[in-house]
Structure 1
Amino acid sequence: MASERFTLGGDTTVRRLGYGTAQLTGPGYWGPRGDARDAVAVLRRAVERGVTLIDTADNYGPSIAEELVAEALHPYAEGLVVATKGGVVRTSDRAWHIAGRPEQLRAMCEASLRRLRLDTIGLYQLHRLDPEVPMAEQLGALGELRDEGKIRHIGLDTVDAEQLAAALELTDIASVQNRYNVLDRTSEPLLKLCEARGIAFLPWFPLGNGSLTADPVCSEIAAAHGATPGQIALAWLLHRSPVLCPTPGTGSRAHLEENLDAADVRLTAADLTRLDDASPSKPAPQA
């Protein structure tokens, strides 16, 4: 398997298997989910298990996930990187409004700093590119925040390879987040660009939002390894590319332990071939 660690932006090393906080909030990432004490316990256990990358967003809740991260983990352990996102406003569990004007991004970042009780956010990700605002203005605002020491690295969420290439002409990009898993590899061209440029790729829905637990190939390989299908799906990501840094989320302590144990699964060459051939959504060849 490739290294268990990845260095973001050339200077911030994290363990590749991290933890995502979306499942600490209610359905549609809206409102609370159960007892906050359970969420705090899961977050603390993740760090006890060696997780060094916590991925959250200001609109999970909204605000709830960031507040839980601070409650559970502040003061933060040395080497722990908290990644958050801005650029989307939520008004209900089904309403997402892209908000990429420079003044909006600044206000969102500063609000996240307060909720997270941080002086500097290790990785601040633009949750969506705003089609109504020039990319240069959006990234320029984040670049100013980086110059001011309020964020360390800039990331992008839900972009294609062409958009990432354009962004790299404007500023340094440390990470991207796109949907990517065993059964959905439509972002393969983006992954290849990330590999070429040393950019972290944080795949969201790494377990296919639960669908991979029923995949027959994952299930058969899991049985051979004494593992679960979800662990096989995560292990495949860790084997697939050294820049893939999955951050599976859960509100369950038992599921957290299961996910993190995926780092110990060693897939064979035959396993990888079967999984590589399992995808129904491979991208069309590039011209």
Structure 2
Amino acid sequence: MPSTTFRIGKDLTVGRLGFGAMHLPTERPGDRPSAVAVARRAVELGITLIDTAHLYGAGANEEVLAEAREIVDIASVQNRYNLTDREHEPVLAACEAADIAFLPWRTVAWGKAGDRAEVAAVAAELDATPTQVCLAWLLARSPVVLPIPGTSSIAHLEENTAAADLALTPELRGRLDGIAASA
């Protein structure tokens, strides 16, 4: 089973399954209670890594999460990376070599990775969802990978979080690894 924590910048230990806050609703004043509820539930579920950016809601997302950051050495890199889109393998390899956190975004390929027959088959064998299989594959891919799937739904958040407990056998990982070659 893959490690469940990662030390960012050698100083901060976080859980390897994070929360991408990009989907938190922030457009209307009435959205704030729902956004805060999802963020609080993420913390209650043990998530210690939350990704945010000014781009998410023109800063409103950062205000919801109340982050005040400072400039430091590179602690993590974010690139699009998932079971079916591995364009940034060289970046992941560089992160592994330097022990830098690699935070893949679009972790479940907009939910379309489950359209692949092999992903659906593995999910059925594990009594899991295709999304959980994709997240478990990312966690098993490298100890520096810290997925940040986003959602505005507590049910999806709980489903995503449960993926950290999904163990992929070497045989299942091999079947999933083969997907990119056939893509």
Shift of 1:21: 0.7
TM-score, structure 2 length as denominator? 0.93
Q: 1:32 to 1:278 in 2, by over 3 A?
A: farther
Is structure 2 residue 12 aligned with structure 1 residue 16? no
- Encode CA deviations 1:9-32: one digit per residue, 9 max, x unaligned: 111111010001111147xxxx34
Aligned to 1:38: 34
Q: CA deviation at 1:212?
A: 1.6
Deviation at 1:33, TM superposition (A): 9.5
1:236 aligns with 2:137: yes
Question: 5 Å matches for 1:99-114?
Answer: none
Q: Pick the structure with more strand per residue.
A: 1
Identify, as 1 or 2, the structure richer in helix: 2
What residue is the counterpart of 1:6 in the other structure? Answer: 6
2:93 corresponds in structure 1 to: 192
2:156 corresponds to which residue? 255
Relative to structure 1, the CA distance from residue 193 to residue 251 in structure 2 (aligned partners, 3 Å threshold; closer, same or farther) is same
- Helix, strand or coil: the match of 2:3? coil
Task: Spell out, residue by residue over 1:91-120, the C-alpha distance to the aligned partner (whole angstroms, 9 max, x if none).
Answer: xxxxxxxxxxxxxxxxxxxxxxxxx3x3xx
Q: 1:32 to 1:210 in 2, by over 3 A?
A: farther
Given that residues 25 and 34 in structure 2 are in contact (C-alpha distance below 8 angstroms), is that contact kept between their aligned partners in structure 1? no
CA offset digits 1:47-105 (Å, max 9, x no partner): 001000110001211112112213xxxxxxxxxxxxxxxxxxxxxxxxxxxxxxxxxxx
1:269 aligns with one of 159, 163, 170: 170
User: Unpaired runs of 5+ in structure 1?
Assistant: 71-115, 122-149, 154-171, 283-287
For 2:85 and 2:171, the matched residues in 1 are separated by: 20
* Structure-1-length-normalised TM-score: 0.61
Match of residue 84 from structure 2: 183
Give 2:108's aligned residue: 207
Q: How many matched pairs?
A: 183
Change (3 A) 1:213 1:51: same
Contact 1:24 1:250 in 2 (8 A): yes
1:184 Cα deviation (Å)? 0.4
- Unaligned runs of 5+ residues in structure 2 are none
What is the alpha-carbon distance in structure 2 between the residues aligned to residue 178 and residue 50 of structure 1?
A: 24
Q: Distance in 1 between matches of 2:136 and 2:29?
A: 28
Q: How far off is 1:173 after superposition?
A: 2.0
Contact conserved, 2:133 with 2:166, CA < 8 A, in 1? yes
Distance across 1 between alignment mates of 2:179 and 2:28: 36
Kindly name which structure, 1 or 2, has the bigger radius of gyration based on alpha carbons. Answer: 1
* Contact 1:8–1:199 (Cα < 8 Å) also in 2: yes
Distance 1:238 1:54 in 2: 16
For 1:55, the equivalent position in structure 2 comes to: 51
Distance 1:5 1:234 in 2: 15
Contact 1:175–1:202 under 8 Å retained in 2: yes
RMSD: 1.8
- Given that residues 25 and 35 in structure 2 are in contact (C-alpha distance below 8 angstroms), is that contact kept between their aligned partners in structure 1? no
Instruction: Tell me the equivalent position of 1:135.
Output: none
